[in-house]
Amino acid sequence: MYNILRAILFCFDPEWVHYFSMNSLKLFCKVPFAKKLLSSAFVVNDVRLEKKAFGLNFKNPVGLGAGFDKNARYLNELEALGFGFVEIGTVTPLAQAGNDKPRLFRLPKDKALINRMGFNNDGVEVIVQRLQKVKSRKEKLKIIIGGNIGKNKVTPNEDAWKDYEICFLKLHDYVDYFVVNVSSPNTPGLRELQEKDSLRKILTTLQTADSKFSNSKPILLKIAPDLNEAQIDDVINLALEIKLDGLVVSNTTIVRDNLQTTTAELEKIGVGGLSGKPAKERSTSIIQYINPKTNGQIPIIGSGGIFTGNDAKEKLTAGSSLVQVWTGFIYEGPGIVKNICLSLLK
């Protein structure tokens, strides 16, 4: 049934479809008992799926990556679809519109997306207010919430650490873990912050800030799949040195190799981060590289090209503790978490 619905939805602009679909789901969940009905159809409850990572207990290892619920608008609905955790953001100190539209593109032949959203979000103050309402609900959400944080486009790189600290401090009471995003290809110069000295400044600033709270929060780093071996080694060495809580492997790629989509179509789309099936092999290979080098000391969230239970198993076997979907959710539909969880139980 979703295949028919997807064929219809794919006739329209991807970004419009995203908000139309999620707002429709939100409206449906406002009907009495609708969320319970949805949960009964999509949630798999089984203690064998439970995972513990960086001090948190996850009801299942399947999460939704950052960029889908940028502004923490759909946590209630995403919980009803069975996700073990949802990462909001990327959140920046100030609201920003992001890059010009169109900025999200489908590559159906490759089961992929290209996006150049540019950290469009409502800003940390508005998002905190939204999370406050979520936390104050009578019916508490049980889903784990991650906070993916970044810098504003206008903030120079030498001051980037200040933006990350602002978001960290303001979100600290409302999210369960943090992900430092320095690896999006859609904010000019951002990936330069993946260099060791810049990373050290950002991460140690956040660790110092975290130490002042009575309830410390795990801090993870999201890396690009386009790092070379020496750069990955720098990340590993720094992570071990400062006792980083975890890594997210990996973000979208700027590489366009071996795609079924024609060169002409790609040139028409232009720049942006590629996600989906073409990103699977590279992200898995990085996990396979990092895990033995750290003796499994650093928990990894595997992300990139996860559509099926076998894709998830591949990431978990490679050494990740948890997995995140995004593009797979678009192509496979609302049953993706259930299908992966059932496959993991076999």
Q: Is the pLDDT of residue 139 over 90?
A: no
Q: Is the pLDDT of residue 138 over 90?
A: no
Task: Give percent above pLDDT 70 in the chain.
Answer: 100
Residue 15 neighbours by CB distance under 10 Å: 16
pTM of this prediction exceeds 0.75 = yes
Average pLDDT over residues 285-292: 98
Which among 180, 179, 192, 186 has a CA at the least distance from the CA of 273? 186
Of 184, 250, 303, 320, which one is the catalytic site residue?
A: 184
Average pLDDT over residues 65-81: 98
Q: Which pLDDT value is given to residue 226?
A: 97
Backbone angles phi, psi at 130, to 5 degrees: -65, -40
- E strand residue ranges, 224-289: 246-249, 273-276
AA identity, residue 107 = L
- Report d(CA 328, CA 64) in Å as an integer: 10
Q: Which pLDDT value is given to residue 124?
A: 98
For 215-265, what is each residue's pLDDT tens digit? Answer: 999 999 999 999 999 999 999 999 999 999 999 999 999 999 999 999 999
Which among 220, 213, 283, 231 has a CA at the least distance from the CA of 252? 283
AA identity, residue 48 = R
205 — pLDDT class (breaks 50, 70, 90)? very high
- Report d(CA 89, CA 92) in Å as an integer: 8
AA identity, residue 177 = Y
Give residue for tokens 């975890």: 246
204 — pLDDT class (breaks 50, 70, 90)? very high
Rg over alpha carbons for the chain, rounded to the nearest Å, is 19
Which among 307, 324, 300 has a CA at the least distance from the CA of 53? 300
SS (H, E, C) 132-166: HHHHHCCCCCCCEEEEEECCCCCCCHHHHHHHHHH
Instruction: Please say if 184 is a catalytic residue.
Output: yes
- Report d(CA 249, CA 235) in Å as an integer: 12
